[in-house]
Amino acid sequence: MPRQAKINDDATDGATVHPAAMNGMSEGALKGFISEYEDEQGKIDEIMRDAKAACQPHVDQQKAIKKAAAESGIPKKPFGAKIRERSLRRRAEHVTDDLSEEQLAIFAEITAKIGDWNLFEHALNG
């Protein structure tokens, strides 16, 4: 089971919570929701650890590729910057994938109103 920080739920910092701010929720219900949420976070953390372990050989190969590129005379920082840029471009190409037609129209309007430009134009033109 994933490690979790121990929290003293009984500790107070002297602050008083007004009953109306809790919307009538009982202390037990609140602790139950927090516990349930933290259990789910523990599952996510475990999945992420497993994924990290599965990805490690690929990460190691990427490091070897970067090293080989550097050893062949390609400057490290510009090469790394280009790799990051291409990764960000691939991610940026999909930011509107989940938008409806109406949402896409609003997105286009926002883009036009703020005079948006190519994501990386500023890096190339100073």
Average pLDDT of the residues of the chain: 83
Q: Residue 124 corresponds to which tokens in the numbers above?
A: 């190339």
Q: What is the mean pLDDT of residues 75-86?
A: 96
Q: What is the mean pLDDT of residues 50-64?
A: 97
* Distance (Å, whole) CA 123 – CA 84: 13
The answer to the question of residue 8 being in a domain is: no
**Between 69 and 123, the higher pLDDT residue:** 69
Boundaries of domain holding 28: 24-74
Reference 80, options 95, 65, 58, 91; nearest CA is 65
Determine phi and psi for 12, rounding to 5 degrees: -130, 155
Supply the angle between the helices 27-71 and 76-92 in degrees, to the nearest 10: 130
Whether residue 108 is found in the same domain as residue 84: yes
> For 10-41, what is each residue's pLDDT tens digit?
555 555 555 555 667 788 888 999 999 999 99
Whether residue 96 is found in the same domain as residue 69: no
Whether residue 70 is found in the same domain as residue 29: yes
Q: Are 46 and 2 in contact (CB under 8 A)?
A: yes
* Distance (Å, whole) CA 123 – CA 83: 14
Q: Which of 35, 54, 74 is the last residue of a domain?
A: 74
Total number of domains constituting the chain: 2
